[in-house]
Amino acid sequence: MQREEQQIIDWASMVDEFIVVLDEKGAIVRSNQPWIEFCNAHSLTESLWKSGTDYFRYFKEQEKDGEATVLHQILQKEKTEHKQIYPFVLTDGEIQWFSLKVRPIMKKNQQIQGAFISLKPIHLHTIQPITAESVLESMTDGFYLLDEDLRFNYMNEIGESLLGCKREDVIGKGFLEVFPEAEGSTFHTEYVRALEFKVITEIEEFYEPLNMWIWKKVYPLKRGGLALYFQDISKRKIAEEKLKEYAYYDYLTKLPNRRLLVKKASMLKKAKQKFSVFYINLDNLKFVNALYNYGAGDKVMKKVAERLSTVVTDKCMVGRMDGDEFVVLYQPGTGERLEHLASRLVQLFEEPFLLDDFQAVTIQVSIGIACHPFDTSQLEQLASYSEIAMYEAKKLPGSTYEFFRPKMKVEHDRRSKIEEGLAGNLDELGFEFAVQPQINGETEALVGVEILSRWNHPELGMISPIEFIKVAEQTGAIASMTKFLLEKVFVKMKEWQQNYGCHVRTAINMTPSLLANPAFFDNFFKMIEESGISPTQIEIEITEQAELTYSETTLNYLYLCKEKGISIAIDDFGTGFSMISYLTHFPINKIKIDKYFIQKIGESAKSEALLRSLIHLGKSMECELLAEGVERPEEAEFLKAHECTVFQGYLYDKPMKPEDFEKKYLTSLSPIGRNK
Ligand code: C2E
Ligand code: CA
Ligand code: CA
C-alpha cells in the first residue's frame, strides 16, 4: 500500500465522518469504522464498505449513473473535487442526508492513485439552521424547501439568483403565489405527486416566464414537505436544439435538409399516404457564381428558399437536398391539383432576385414531379423518378415542370447504360470506328480520311455517335474514349503504311473539353511520338464554339499542334457564331463547310450566294477547303465551278469499315494489290 493511502486511512479512523477510500479503478481499499457501523446499523449491503468491492459495478447495479459519472470524472482528473448534499435512501425508504465530498488521491508524480469519499450525515430538521444553511449556501445548485402545503421554508442564494427573487419575499408564501404561471406545469403536478406518494422525481422543463430550461430533482422529506435542487440547463438545451437543427436543417437556408425530407417521406409512406415529390433544380446558379461570386450564389439561395417557403403548409414541406436542388413534399387534399402547385412554384421565379448592389439575377427552375404510390411505392425510386422528370424539364427552355412518365425511365436507363459502357471496357463492348474518304472531285484521288466512331452496343445495338459523344462529353469519359480510339487508329495507320505504303492524312474529331485538357494533349503528343507516325499525317477537327470556351491553354496547345505539323480543321464551318474571329485567332489549315450549305445548292439563289461567300472567305485566308455531305452530282458541279474541289459525302463514299476502305482504296496501292 502506498504511503499516501496509509496516511489517509490512519486519519480516517480518527474522525467520525464516514470515509471510503477507493483505488484508481474505483474498488474499495478501505472504509472507516463509523461507516461500517452505520451500514450495519441500517442493514445496508456490504458492497458499500467491503474492501475490494467495485463501486462502479455497484453504481451500475443500482442504476446510479450520476454517481458513476462523478467518480469517473474524479478518477480521470477531470474534476478536482465534488461536493453535494446527497440524499441516501435507506432500506426502510427513509432518506438520510449527507454532506458528500469526493476528492482524488494523487501520487507524488501527480498520477491518480484513487479517490477519497467522505460522507457527513446532516439532519435538515434538527441541525442548527446556521449549519444547514452554510452547507446549502455552498452548493452550486439552486435549492429550496417547501412545506407540506408547498410554502417556501427556505431558499439558498443560488436559488434566488436563478429564480430572480429574494428569499425574504418568498419565504412563507405558497409556491403558486410566487410562481403563478407554474400552475398546471409539470413542476407543480410533480411536486404534488412527490408529496403524496413520497417519491423522488426528476424534471426537465422549459419555464416560460424565466425563459429558462430548468432541471429539478425533488426529494420528499421524512417529516413532510419537499427539498428541491435545481439548475439552469438552458445552455445545454440550446446546444442540444442546435444539434438537432444541424442534423435536420440546412445551415444556409434553414430549410429542412435531406435527412428530414427522407424521414418525412418514410413517415408518409408508412402511413400509406398519397404524396408527391417536386424535385426543383435551379438552372443557372452556376452562372451566378461564376459571374458574381460565391457570396452572391449563397444570397440567391437564401432568397430562393424564402420564396419557396411561401408554399409551406402542414401538407406541404419544402427542403433543400444539396447544392442547387430543392424538394417539395406535397400531400394534395381532395380536389387539389398538382399542376396548380407546380405552376405556382414556377411563378415564384418569374421576378428576378435582387442582390445587395441592386443587380437583378433571373433564376430559372426545372421541376420534376413523381407521385407516391401512383408512380412507385419505393421511396428511392420515387426520388429517382422525380429527378428523371426534372432532367426532362431541363431540356425545355425557361422555367418548366414535367410529370414523370414511364417512357422517361426508358430513356434514362438507356443513358445510364451508355454512361456505364463508356466507363467500361470499350473493346469488349463493340466500340469501333468507320473511315470516310475525302476525295478530290477533279482527279478523283483520295486526299484524306475522317475517322468516325461507331458503337454496336451489346444491349442497345447501334448507337449514333451524336448520342454517345454528348454523354461522354458530359460525364468526362470523352478523354478516355478518344484515347482508346486514337490507339486503335494509330495501329491501323501503321498497318496501312506497312502493308500498302499509304500515308493518307487522317482526321480525328475533338470536342471543346478535350481542347481544354492539357493531360489529354500531353498524352496525345506522346502517343504520336511512340507510334512513329508523322504528325503531318494527322488532322484534328474542332468545331466552332462560343469563343468563351477557348482558353489560353487551348490556344497554346493548338499552336503546339501547328508547330509539330498536325493539321487543324474547322468542322461544320458556317454553323457556329464566331467565324471571323476563329479564322484570325486560330492556326487553321482547313475549313470543312457544313453540309447544311451544300444541301441548299440548287434550292435558292440566296443560299448559293452565302455558300459562295463562305468559299471566298476560306480562300482569302489561304485555307484548304472541303465540302461536307456532298450527295448529288449537281452539288459537286456547283462546288467545282466555284473552286471548292475536295468533297466528303455519300456521292463518293459513306463512312465505311476499315477493311472495306482498305479493299476499295488501298489494295490497288499495294504491291500485292497491283499483282492481283
Ligand atoms: P461530323 O464530324 O460532322 O461527321 C460527319 C457526319 O456526317 C458523320 O455522321 C457522317 O456519317 C455524316 N455524313 C458524311 N457524309 C454525308 C452525306 O453525304 N450526307 C449526310 N446526310 N451525312 C453525311 P456520323 O458518323 O453519324 O457522326 C456524327 C457526328 O458525331 C460527327 O459529325 C461528329 O461530330 C461526331 N463524332 C463521330 N465520331 C466521333 C469521334 O470519334 N469523336 C468525336 N468527338 N466526335 C465524333
Ligand atoms: Ca468531323
Ligand atoms: Ca462535320
Per-residue pLDDT band at 221 (split at 50, 70, 90): confident
* Mean pLDDT in residue range 170-192: 91
* Residue of the CA atom closest to atom 42 of ligand 1: 509
565 touches 534 (CB < 8 A): yes
pLDDT value at residue 7: 58
Percentage of the chain exceeding pLDDT 70:
92
**Three-class secondary structure of residue 254 per DSSP:** coil
Ligand nearest to the CA of 452: 1
Burial class (CB in 10 A: 0-12, 13-18, 19+), 183: exposed
Q: How far is the CA of 571 from the centre of ligand 3 (A)?
A: 5
* Contacts of range 440-445, beta carbons closer than 8 Å, 24 or more positions apart: 440/645, 440/646, 441/636, 441/639, 441/640, 441/645, 441/646, 441/647, 442/640, 442/645
Per-residue pLDDT band at 126 (split at 50, 70, 90): very low
Q: Looking up cell 414541406, which residue turns up?
A: 317
pLDDT value at residue 128: 42
pLDDT value at residue 308: 97
Per-residue pLDDT band at 63 (split at 50, 70, 90): confident
* Mean pLDDT in residue range 12-16: 63
Sign (positive/negative) of CA torsion 50, 53, 58, 61? negative
Burial class (CB in 10 A: 0-12, 13-18, 19+), 331: middle
Q: Taking Cα atoms as reference points, which of 471, 445, 265 lies closest to residue 370?
A: 265
- The answer to which of 49-58, 580-589, 654-663 has the lowest mean pLDDT is 580-589
pLDDT value at residue 263: 93
Per-residue pLDDT band at 433 (split at 50, 70, 90): very high
pLDDT value at residue 404: 97
Q: Taking Cα atoms as reference points, which of 563, 556, 567, 572 lies closest to residue 627?
A: 572
Report how far residue 266's alpha carbon sits from residue 275's, in angstroms, rounded to the nearest whole number. 11
Q: How far is the CA of 653 from the centre of ligand 1 (A)?
A: 13
Q: How far is the CA of 613 from the centre of ligand 2 (A)?
A: 22
For residue 211, pLDDT beyond 50: yes
**Ligand 1 pocket mutation pick from 509, 544, 597 by most atoms within 8 angstroms of CB:** 509
Q: How far is the CA of 639 from the centre of ligand 1 (A)?
A: 21
Alpha-carbon distances, residue 281 vs 260, 391, 403, 428 (angstroms): 19, 9, 14, 37
pLDDT value at residue 675: 33
* Mean pLDDT in residue range 626-643: 96
* Residue of the CA atom closest to atom 17 of ligand 1: 629
For residue 461, pLDDT beyond 90: yes
Report how far residue 544's alpha carbon sits from residue 567's, in angstroms, rounded to the nearest whole number. 16
* Mean pLDDT in residue range 380-387: 95
With residue 521 as reference, give the H or E element that holds it: helix 518-531
Report how far residue 30's alpha carbon sits from residue 52's, in angstroms, rounded to the nearest whole number. 8
- The answer to which of 14-18, 170-174, 396-400, 459-463 has the lowest mean pLDDT is 14-18
Q: Is 159 in the pocket of ligand 1 (CB under 6 A)?
A: no
Per-residue pLDDT band at 593 (split at 50, 70, 90): very high
pLDDT tens digit sequence for 289-335: 777 766 788 888 999 999 999 999 999 999 999 888 999 999 998 88
pLDDT value at residue 639: 97
pLDDT value at residue 482: 97
Pinpoint the alpha helices (H) of 395-475: 406-423, 465-475
pLDDT value at residue 95: 76
Q: What is the mean pLDDT of the chain?
A: 88
- The answer to which of 184-188, 581-585, 652-656 has the lowest mean pLDDT is 581-585
Q: Taking Cα atoms as reference points, which of 599, 598, 603 lies closest to residue 644?
A: 598
pLDDT tens digit sequence for 553-565: 888 899 999 999 9
Per-residue pLDDT band at 88 (split at 50, 70, 90): confident
Q: Is 572 in the pocket of ligand 1 (CB under 6 A)?
A: yes
Ligand nearest to the CA of 450: 2
With residue 95 as reference, give the H or E element that holds it: strand 95-106
For residue 129, pLDDT beyond 50: no
Ligand nearest to the CA of 433: 1
* Residue of the CA atom closest to atom 37 of ligand 1: 452
Q: Is 437 in the pocket of ligand 1 (CB under 6 A)?
A: no
pLDDT tens digit sequence for 19-39: 899 999 999 998 988 899 999
pLDDT value at residue 100: 87
Q: pTM value?
A: 0.59
* Mean pLDDT in residue range 67-88: 87
**For ligand 1, what atom is nearest to the CA of residue 651?**
18
Percentage of the chain exceeding pLDDT 90:
58
* Mean pLDDT in residue range 132-137: 60
pLDDT value at residue 132: 53
Ligand nearest to the CA of 434: 1
Per-residue pLDDT band at 676 (split at 50, 70, 90): very low
**Ligand 1 pocket mutation pick from 452, 462, 597 by most atoms within 8 angstroms of CB:** 452
pLDDT value at residue 585: 73
Q: Is 453 in the pocket of ligand 1 (CB under 6 A)?
A: yes
Q: Rank 149-163, 199-213, 226-240, 254-268 by mean pLDDT and report only the highest.
A: 254-268
Q: Is 160 in the pocket of ligand 1 (CB under 6 A)?
A: no
Q: Is 200 in the pocket of ligand 1 (CB under 6 A)?
A: no
Q: Is 452 in the pocket of ligand 1 (CB under 6 A)?
A: yes
Per-residue pLDDT band at 64 (split at 50, 70, 90): confident
pLDDT tens digit sequence for 514-547: 988 999 999 999 999 999 999 999 999 998 764 4
pLDDT value at residue 15: 65
Q: How far is the CA of 448 from the centre of ligand 2 (A)?
A: 12
In terms of pLDDT, which residue wins out, 95 or 151?
151
For residue 127, pLDDT beyond 50: no
pLDDT value at residue 23: 92
pLDDT value at residue 548: 43
* Mean pLDDT in residue range 381-409: 94
Q: Is 509 in the pocket of ligand 1 (CB under 6 A)?
A: yes
